[in-house]
Amino acid sequence: MKISPVASFYEQNYWRAGFQTRLYDFLTVEAYLESLRKAVACVPEKEGQVWLDAGCGTGRAMEFLGTGGRREIRYLGTDVLEAGLRRLRRRAEEGGSNQRVLGFRGDLTLGLPLPENSVDVVLAHFSLYTLPGEGERRKALRLLGEVLRPSGRLVLVNPSKTYDPRAIVRESLQLLHHRKGWFSAGWHRCFVYPFSLHLGLKFVARQLRSGRWKAYELDELCREVEEAGFRIQHRETVYGGGAFLVTAGPEKPAGDLSGPITRVALPAASE
Ligand SMILES: C[S@@+](CC[C@H](N)C(=O)[O-])C[C@H]1O[C@@H](n2cnc3c(N)ncnc32)[C@H](O)[C@@H]1O
């Protein structure tokens, strides 16, 4: 499908511009944060876990990790875009957790500079669906499986075929009304979510419809995960019906955990 130069420019700079201007964080709808909260809550709380946030953006997952019994966890965030990582580091500094947070550039399709069997949880929240081909997504999943410990868990959230921007905004307004009251819901309805809808959600919907980014049926997502060497543990619909959350464990024997270190050159700076 042909796209106009303006649309093509928008597509190429979408995340980077959103991270740099902080519009990405500002316009995030409540249903998206709820999806992140649910993704984190799927993993039993335990001290000292190592989390890898694959395609971490600005590291919003950190907001949900610092609660309950998740003390002393180590958070590794990786992304191709330095703009998001800068924001992630600032977030860690502001939250006083920079000792336990590391943001590093990496391309999920090339492999990560982490030892095998070194991570307890891999979170891939709305990241793998942007990889253009099935082969790349499967490769990224396999590489993520390599760094997971045999007892580890993959938490994956990707858009569904029923992704509907208006349903996502509706759910977000209900959540806001319930959590923060009518004033916050009214403010967001009038002054924030119209921009979220037109600059963000509708753009994503167009990308999904055109096939440039991947929208899934639940069975299809589970099959892709299983074929990359995982066993599905849990599945649910999130994000106003616009995404699926799947958790899975790696199919690998618990045994010798001293695998070789995956040494991969990080891609050159893209900014
Ligand atoms: C929708 S954002 C999600 C960010 C974050 N996970 C969240 O939920 O807020 C998608 C992210 O995937 C990252 N990404 C896309 N392709 C990638 C790749 N090949 N390797 C690493 N990150 C990638 C983008 O740079 C972007 O930050």
Name 180's Cβ contacts closer than 8 Å, sequence gap at least 6.
Answer: none
CA 95 to ligand 1 center in whole angstroms: 22
Locate the ligand 1 atom nearest the alpha carbon of residue 108 and give its number: 20
SS3 state at 122: strand
Interval 215-220 mean pLDDT: 98
Q: With a 6 A CB cut-off, is 109 part of the ligand 1 pocket?
A: yes
Residue pLDDT, tens place only, 157-181: 999 999 999 999 999 999 999 999 9
Residue pLDDT, tens place only, 40-86: 999 998 889 999 999 999 999 999 997 666 778 999 999 999 999 99
| Residue 127 maps to a domain | yes
Q: With a 6 A CB cut-off, is 127 part of the ligand 1 pocket?
A: yes
| Residue 103 maps to a domain | yes
Number of domains in the chain: 1
Report the CATH number that the domain containing residue 54 is assigned in CATH.
3.40.50.150
The two tokens of residue 17 are: 């511009």
Strand pairing partners for 105?
79
Domain that holds residue 79: 5-250
Q: With a 6 A CB cut-off, is 80 part of the ligand 1 pocket?
A: yes
Structure confidence at residue 12 as a pLDDT band (50, 70, 90): confident
Give, using CA atoms, the residue closest to atom 14 of ligand 1: 55
Determine the pLDDT at residue 129: 97
Q: With a 6 A CB cut-off, is 34 part of the ligand 1 pocket?
A: no
| Residue 256 maps to a domain | no
Give, using CA atoms, the residue closest to atom 4 of ligand 1: 57
With 60 as the cut, is the pLDDT of residue 125 above it? yes
Strands 230-238 and 243-250: antiparallel
Percent of the chain with pLDDT over 70: 88
By most ligand atoms within 8 Å of CB, the mutation choice from 13, 56, 88, 127 for ligand 1 is 127
Residue pLDDT, tens place only, 181-217: 999 999 999 999 999 999 999 999 999 999 999 999 9
| Residue 205 maps to a domain | yes
The two tokens of residue 92 are: 């860690």
Which residue do the tokens 């998740």 mark? 70
| Residue 270 maps to a domain | no
Dihedral through CA 161, CA 167, CA 172, CA 174, nearest 10? -140
| Residue 246 maps to a domain | yes
Name which of 58, 67, 70, 63 is nearest 23 in CA terms: 58
| Residue 155 maps to a domain | yes
With 60 as the cut, is the pLDDT of residue 269 above it? no
With 80 as the cut, is the pLDDT of residue 264 above it? no
| Residue 271 maps to a domain | no
Interval 120-128 mean pLDDT: 98
Q: With a 6 A CB cut-off, is 56 part of the ligand 1 pocket?
A: yes
- Stated pTM of the model: 0.92
